[in-house]
Structure 1
Amino acid sequence: MSADTEQYLVKQEPYYQPQEDEIELYEAAYAERLPVMIKGPTGCGKSRFVEHMAWRLGKPLITVACNEDMTASDLVGRYLLDSEGTRWLDGPLTVAARIGAICYLDEVVEARQDTTVVIHPLTDHRRTLPLDKKGEVLDAHENFQLVISYNPGYQSLMKDLKQSTKQRFSALDFDYAPSALEASIIAKETGIDEEKATRLVKIGETARNLKGHGLDEGISTRLLVYAARLVKRGIKPRAACRMALVRPITDDKDIVATLDHAIEAVFG
């Protein structure tokens, strides 16, 4: 394995607790080099799962956080001017296709649709990446795999994946873990006791029940971990919850009051 490839390896095992058969399914998809789409709400473990699978398979991982300003050149590459003249610089998608990495496009729907079209030739029998500006058609390495994620419940009709893109992928549905498992994950991640972790999950469930009734998104597992880390640091649970769970997700005074009341009820 080359030094260029080595730098993208996930060196330490990212902790991940499976909910169903997603590990087995992903391993089968990778064995066939099928592109994979991972769908689920914010902070439910999508990125952690991809990192865990890259570690589990021993494959390099290149992650791209997609945004609305991202261009096709940001993914594929561009010519740059330096003191020696003009040189080509591969983008992350091109690097992944060259070295045989898993390329993970996180929240791909945030990218412009004219940008996501560039992935199409990599997701069918061709497994190629046209580098139009360079006049090259890159054949993807045999180990290359494309993985994308997005949150279908959060997107508007104007920011959804085209059917022509969706139907190029196999897909896994993710959601927040059942309460007992989520509490176990939080305890393992942070070192707080299961009893406190269970209380944090109750607050998270209260917020998730408000989704569509004043909240665009509920409290993620990620935020519950943040709160647990503050508690572990010695911050009082109620203050930790207000800081990590409530204030980041809403400015609505009524919702804040409702969630603060839930915190008082659980940790009062």
Structure 2
Amino acid sequence: MTDAVKLEAPFYAATSDEIDVFAAAWRQQLAVMLKGPTGCGKTRLVEHMAARLDVPLMTVSCHEDMTASDLLGRFVLTGGDTEWVDGPLTQAVRLGGICYLDEVVEARQDAVVAVHSLTDHRRTMTLERLGGETIQAAPGFMLVVSYNPGYQSVLKDLKVSTRQRMVGLDLTYPPADTERLIVSRESGLDDRRLDDLIRLGQALRRGKDAGLREVASTRTLIAAARLMQEGLGFRRAATAAIAAPLTDDEALTAQLITVIDAYDSSSEHS
């Protein structure tokens, strides 16, 4: 079961007013819905804000087999005795922390509906398995959900009744100067290769209609930079961290490597 954790504030470079809106929503006891492409910083924003607000954070990676019990809790057998164990949502409600449902559209609808009473004026939850015990959310409790709008479909989307209970924040990849700062802070890569890498990432995003389902995220650029810090050449690091995760198609991979070579100012294709 997910444990409550407190974090030191990780570095987060805001691209708009998302920090102010998030903090305002927390003060007003409103739920937040984060929308944005893979690797743009949704999880990092939540971690940063939990530390900044000094509240525990319980993170749940949602999946299609996740049930309401996975969020609320269940009875477990311990040493021959049966005892109740709170789920991450219940922990957050009791402690006054943030419960973060990552990729919430992957979860079953019955699991998502379980949060409704916590996202309106009631701020309560009822545990039917504990005889209908009703818990009032402690001060500081906040529900945050995230998803990638690019993967939306009729079968994988939030109900309007759920969406209207939340404050929406649209995130995207940062501009080049901000992304350069982020990758530099996370990897320590030298300026020349860092400039090449940022220009490569920007170029791949401009060509997003070239047959790729996703473009190079800030996360993949950081991974490539870290590989370079370990001694790998620009081409090898970018191929492993960017091209390989983006596609399995040999022709597309070859095209990506050609683009990678074009942005390698060292011309050391190692």
Pairing 1:8–2:25 present: no
Confirm or deny that 1:228 pairs with 2:213.
Answer: no
Deviation at 1:212, TM superposition (A): 4.5
Q: Where does residue 200 of structure 1 map in the other structure?
A: 197
Q: Which runs of 5+ in 1 are unaligned?
A: none
Q: Is the 8 A contact 1:180 1:198 kept in 2?
A: no
Q: Distance in 2 between matches of 1:114 and 1:152?
A: 21
Identity of aligned residues (%): 51
Equivalences for residues 233-248 of structure 1 within 5 A: 233-248=230-245
- Counterpart CA distance in 1 for 2:57 and 2:77 is 28
Q: Is the 8 A contact 1:61 1:104 kept in 2?
A: yes
Distance 1:114 1:194 in 2: 50
Within 2, Cα distance between the matches of 1:83 and 1:234? 51
Give the equivalent residue in structure 2 for 1:20.
16
What amino acid does structure 2 have at the position aligned with 1:127?
R
Q: Determine if the alignment matches structure 1 residue 108 to structure 2 residue 96.
A: no
Question: In the alignment, is the contact (CA less than 8 A) between 1:36 and 1:171 conserved in 2?
Answer: yes
Q: Which amino acid aligns with 2:83?
A: R
CA deviations 1:204-238 (Å, max 9, x no partner) are 23333343441111111111000000111111111
Q: Which runs of 5+ in 2 are unaligned?
A: none
Q: Give the number of aligned pairs.
A: 262
CA deviations 1:151-208 (Å, max 9, x no partner) are 1112222101111110000011100001121112101111112332222122223333
Aligned counterpart, 1:52: 48
Match of 2:124 in 1: 128
Report the CA distance between 1:129 and its aligned residue: 1.1
Partner of 1:152: 149
1:76-121 Cα deviation digits (max 9, x unpaired): 0011123342211110000110011111111111111121110101
Quick check: 1:41–1:175 contact (8 Å CA) kept in 2? Answer: yes
Q: Secondary structure at the match of 1:87?
A: strand
TM normalised by structure 1 equals 0.94
Q: Distance in 2 between matches of 1:230 and 1:54?
A: 29
Counterpart of 2:179 (choices 179, 182, 186) is 182
Deviations, residues 123-146 of structure 1 (Å, cap 9, x unaligned): 001101111111211111121111
SS state at 2:192 partner: helix
Which amino acid letter does the alignment assign opposite residue 62 of structure 2?
C
Distance 1:107 1:222 in 2: 16
SS at match of 1:247: helix
> Which residue is 1:76 aligned to?
72
Runs of 4+ in 1 over 3 A off after TM superposition: 209-213
The Cα of 1:266 is off from its aligned counterpart by 0.7
Look up the match of 1:93.
89
